[in-house]
């Protein structure tokens, strides 16, 4: 014997439906054919079910947002229990985390508030469970203070660099201007005490030469009006006028000898 085709659900489109549970004669909902050896009565058995919707409600920082995170059909008179922490909003900001506040259960007869994370409901009609989440304002304030301090630190660092650069440049200018001629630097002193100066564009040596030492740099440039002669593999500065006087004295001495 074939049993009539029965739909699994009959929806009423208002958050309620009938759910086919099976036959009164003991056959499950999937049975379509039975064997009959004696008179038998089979009645379709139904149970009323109600829809329970779970929503995340996020408050603060720009308003209110509702996101549906779960939909359940519960038999009339049945119990539904959920843990709010299992429904933490996806994509919540890791820097500004959300904190669970409370739950609001809304039914056709009114609403109630649950302060714990475990929410339990005996279903007697369509219902909505709102899980309320708030931004942790302590983290928000701390983040703002951190950003402000970071900005002040960057400004302070830049100012320190600026003034340090100015001080270094001025100190360098003073050092370069102290060689007896504007913009020159003493590179060494010849045997006769004459100072030898570097070119204005030349950088300071790593270790400036002390006065009283001989000229050590092969590329040394002396002031205009002086020249460098080499004697015994050493550099000696001789003034041009002194050289002419010595030459003149030698010529006079030669003439006296001839006379």
Does the pLDDT at position 3 exceed 50?
yes
Alpha-carbon 195 to chain mean position: 58
Given this model, what pLDDT does residue 123 score? 96
Per-residue pLDDT reduced to its tens digit, 206-233: 445 455 444 444 444 444 444 444 444 4
Average pLDDT estimate for 122-140: 85
In this model, does residue 160 exceed pLDDT 80? Answer: no
- Where is average pLDDT lowest: 18-22, 149-153, 223-227? 223-227
pLDDT (tens digit per residue) in 38-59: 888 889 999 999 999 999 998 8
Mean pLDDT, the chain, rounded, equals: 74
Percent of all residues in the chain with a pLDDT value above 90, rounded to a whole number: 33
Average pLDDT, integer, range 113-140:
88
**154 or 25, higher pLDDT:** 25
């Amino acid at each position: 014997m074939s049993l009539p085709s029965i739909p699994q659900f009959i929806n009423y489109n208002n958050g309620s439906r009938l759910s086919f549970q099976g036959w009164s004669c003991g056959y499950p909902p999937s049975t379509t054919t039975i064997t009959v050896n004696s008179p038998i009565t089979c009645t379709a058995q139904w149970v009323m079910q109600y829809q329970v919707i779970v929503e995340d409600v996020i408050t603060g920082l720009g308003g209110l947002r509702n996101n549906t995170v779960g939909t359940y059909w519960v038999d009339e008179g049945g119990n539904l229990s959920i843990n709010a922490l299992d429904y933490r909003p996806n994509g919540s900001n890791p820097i500004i985390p959300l904190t669970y506040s409370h739950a609001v259960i809304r039914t056709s007869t009114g609403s109630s508030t649950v302060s714990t994370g475990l929410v339990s409901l005996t279903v007697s009609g369509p219902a909505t469970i709102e899980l309320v989440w708030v931004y942790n304002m302590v983290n928000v304030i701390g983040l703002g203070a951190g950003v402000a301090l970071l900005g002040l630190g960057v400004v302070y660092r830049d100012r320190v660099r600026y003034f340090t650069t100015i001080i270094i440049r001025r100190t360098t200018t003073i050092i370069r201007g102290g060689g007896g001629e504007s913009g020159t630097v003493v590179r060494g002193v010849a045997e006769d005490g004459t100072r030898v100066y570097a070119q204005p564009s030349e950088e300071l040596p790593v270790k400036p030469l002390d006065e009283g030492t001989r000229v050590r740099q092969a590329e040394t440039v002396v002031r205009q009006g002086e020249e460098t002669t080499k004697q015994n593999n050493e550099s000696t500065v001789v003034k041009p006028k002194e050289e002419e006087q010595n030459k003149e004295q030698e010529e006079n001495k030669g003439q006296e000898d001839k006379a």
